[in-house]
Amino acid sequence: MEKPDWNSLFEQALTQPGVMSKAYSVFYEYSLGNAFLAACQLFDRKLPISPIATFNKWKELGRMVKKGEKAIKLVMPVQVKIKSKDDDGDEAGIADKDQVAATKTIFILKNNWFTLCQTDGAEHAHEVVIPKWDKAKALAALGITEQDFSHMNGNAQGYAIPNEKKLAINPLAALPWKTTFHEMAHCLLHSSEAQMADGEMLLKCIKEAEAESVAYLCCATLELPGLEQSRAYIQHWLDSKEQSEEFKKKSAARVFSAANKILKAGAETAKAGEVGNE
């Protein structure tokens, strides 16, 4: 079973932010990780970023996958049995047949999707839907409360109280959207922390890199400013061997998951041409 390389996918996101926003507009029904993964594969094959579906779904829509076309991979959850000592039999050589086997969910890559241009057949009308994001809706859905900024350090752009799921943004923050996503990420990923403030002197720990990575993914997806500043901070941690290895092992998948939750929580959709509220 091939497992997804979340770190490699995140590194691509750092260098291809335009692909992320395009993927979000076309593959909005998929998770952020799968949307970007699909877009990257199509981009590498020089295929247009257009609707994707499984072989059977295209068949239902009256279209057939062209002979010789290579499927694209998406991440899918599967249930696997957790092996225990009883799997080899007990000491008497007899396992308990009534025992319910314990299972866990793992994520693997499956080749089962094709894009529109890889198929022939009936006309397929694809209505362009542009996702928009509403902060109030997202905060409410995630159970996060925004409060007035009261930090003693006026240089702090914002702060979060993760264990209470509260955040505050400095009214004078240079990049308020990026800071908002950063503090939301703390609330989702670091709920055991009492307070984490972001000013000129940031905490030198992997948690800050995770929160900023979530902010980067959200800003890149929604085409908001601050990517250069965010990328520089993230790469500062990735240049450290110890922190880079920690990020590769545990953080890359976590940041995609957190960014996906934030985007989905505040997502609304509108037909092309409609303008959403802030």
Q: Are residues 163 and 40 in the same domain?
A: no
Residue 251 domain flag: yes
pLDDT at 184: 98
Domain count, the chain: 2
In a domain, 277, yes or no: no
Do 109 and 12 lie in a common domain? yes
The pLDDT value given to residue 45: 95
pTM (2 d.p.) = 0.84
Residue 278: inside a domain: no
Are 138 and 260 members of one domain?
Answer: yes
Residues 106 and 237 in one domain: no
Mean confidence (pLDDT) of the chain:
85
Whether 256 and 186 map to the same domain: the answer is: yes
> Can you list the positions of beta strands (E) in the chain?
52-54, 63-65, 72-81, 103-115, 119-121, 129-133, 145-146, 158-161, 166-169, 196-198, 267-271
**Do 69 and 193 sit in the same domain of this protein?**
no
According to the model, what pLDDT value does residue 86 have? Answer: 55
C-beta of residue 183 within 8 angstroms of C-beta of residue 211: yes
Please indicate, yes or no, whether residues 198 and 122 belong to a single structural domain of this protein.
no
Asked whether residue 266 is domain-assigned, the answer is yes
CA atoms lying within 13 Å on the CB side of residue 116: 11
Residues 176 and 75 in one domain: no
Q: Per the domain annotation, does 94 fall within a domain?
A: no
Q: What sign does the CA torsion over 52, 57, 60, 64 have?
A: positive
State the residue range of the domain holding 77: 6-85+99-126
Q: From CA 35, how far away is CA 93, in angstroms rounded?
A: 49
Per-residue pLDDT of the chain (278 residues; tens, 9 = 90+): 899 999 999 999 999 999 999 999 899 889 999 999 999 999 999 999 999 999 999 999 999 999 999 999 999 999 988 876 555 544 433 344 445 568 889 999 999 999 999 999 988 877 666 678 999 999 999 999 999 999 877 788 999 999 999 999 999 999 999 999 999 999 999 987 655 455 443 345 788 999 999 999 999 999 999 999 999 888 777 777 877 888 888 899 999 999 999 999 998 764 443 333 33
User: What is the predicted pLDDT for the residue at 101?
Assistant: 62
- Are both 201 and 78 inside the same structural domain? no
Residue 178 lies in a domain: yes
Tell me, yes or no, whether 31 and 154 share the same domain: no
